[in-house]
Amino acid sequence: MADPTPSYGGCKCICHTQAGVMHMGPCCTRPESTGERLTKKPPKITSEFALVDILKGRKALEKYLRTSEGLRFTMEGVLRYPFGNDDGTSIEFVADVTSLKVHP
């Protein structure tokens, strides 16, 4: 009997099998799974937009931003893998946030 789980290029990782989501997950982008070599020097990248998932202080931040023009912050993290497809302008990536600092 055939496996009913959707498969994309033989990959059955959770990002490819849940609800038909078609983005590359960590198992797909590791060099050992794609046959690519590790790049020693990271590429130069730019960004003009990000979504930030706020856990602690989210209600206070929501209230603050209703009466403010914004809140400056610095964030550090580790980019992990692509979340979406290339739309011709950009690709979204999943990042693990390692620190977030608010500036007065």
- Cβ neighbours for 94, distance < 8 A, ≥ 6 positions apart: 79, 80, 81, 82, 83
- Region of 19 (left: φ > 0; alpha: ψ -120 to 50; beta: rest) is left
Tens of pLDDT, residues 3-31: 444 444 555 555 554 444 444 555 555 55
Whether the predicted pLDDT of 33 surpasses 60: no
Q: Which of the 8 DSSP states describes residue 104?
A: -
**Is it the case that residue 45 has pLDDT exceeding 90?**
yes
Q: Are 59 and 73 in contact (CB under 8 A)?
A: no
Largest CA distance in the chain: 62
Average pLDDT over residues 55-76: 97
Mean pLDDT, all residues of the chain: 79
Domain extent listing, the chain: 1-37, 45-102
